C-alpha cells in the first residue's frame, strides 16, 4: 500500500467518524419518555405559564444553546426581576437535565450536545411571533 492509498483510507475513516454521530442521532427517539423526563416536562409546562408574558414582552429570549436568558431586564419591573431571574434559572436547570435524560434514555449519553442543538432549533421553530431568539452568532432576533 502506498502513501496515497493510506492517506485516502485515513481521510475516509475520519469522514465516517464525523458523520456517524449525526446519522446516529437521526435514529434517536427525541420523544422518549421516562419518569424523570415526564417530571421535567411537567415542571417546564407549569413554569411556561409564568414565562409566556416575559417571552412576549421581549424580557426573556431563547438562546442558541437551547436555554433561555433575560434579554432585556428593563422590560421587567424592578420588583419582579428577582422572580424572573429565578424562573429563568429553574427553566435552564430543567432544560439541561432534559437534554441529558433524553440522551441517556436513548442509551447514548454522548448525544447530549446533539440533543441540545436539536431542541434549540425546535424551540425557535415553535416560538410565537414576536418572541426573541439568538441566531447562530449569538445576536438577538425577533421572530
pLDDT digits (tens, 9 = 90+) for 13-52: 333 333 444 444 557 799 999 999 999 999 999 999 999 9
Q: What is the DSSP string of the chain?
A: --HHHHHHHHHHHHHHHHHHHHHHHHTS-TT---HHHHHHHHHHHHHHHHHHHHHHHTSEEE-TTS-EEES-GGGS-GGGHHHHHHHHHHHHHHHHHHHHHHHHHTT-GGGHHHHHHHHHHHHHHHSPTT-EEE-TTS-EEE-
**Mean pLDDT along residues 113-121:** 96
23 compared with 127, residue with greater pLDDT: 127
Amino acid at each position: 500500500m502506498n502513501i496515497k492509498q493510506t492517506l485516502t483510507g485515513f481521510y475516509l475513516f475520519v469522514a465516517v467518524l464525523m458523520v456517524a454521530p449525526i446519522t446516529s442521532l437521526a435514529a434517536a427517539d427525541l420523544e422518549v419518555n421516562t419518569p424523570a423526563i415526564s417530571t421535567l416536562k411537567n415542571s417546564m409546562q407549569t413554569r411556561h405559564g409564568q414565562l409566556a408574558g416575559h417571552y412576549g414582552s421581549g424580557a426573556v429570549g431563547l438562546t442558541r444553546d437551547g436555554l433561555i436568558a433575560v434579554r432585556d431586564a428593563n422590560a421587567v419591573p424592578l420588583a419582579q426581576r428577582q422572580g424572573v431571574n429565578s424562573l429563568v434559572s429553574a427553566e435552564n436547570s430543567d432544560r439541561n437535565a432534559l437534554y441529558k435524560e433524553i440522551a441517556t434514555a436513548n442509551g447514548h449519553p454522548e448525544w447530549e450536545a446533539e440533543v441540545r442543538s436539536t431542541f434549540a432549533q425546535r424551540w425557535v421553530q415553535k416560538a410565537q411571533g414576536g418572541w426573541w431568539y439568538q441566531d447562530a452568532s449569538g445576536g438577538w432576533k425577533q421572530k
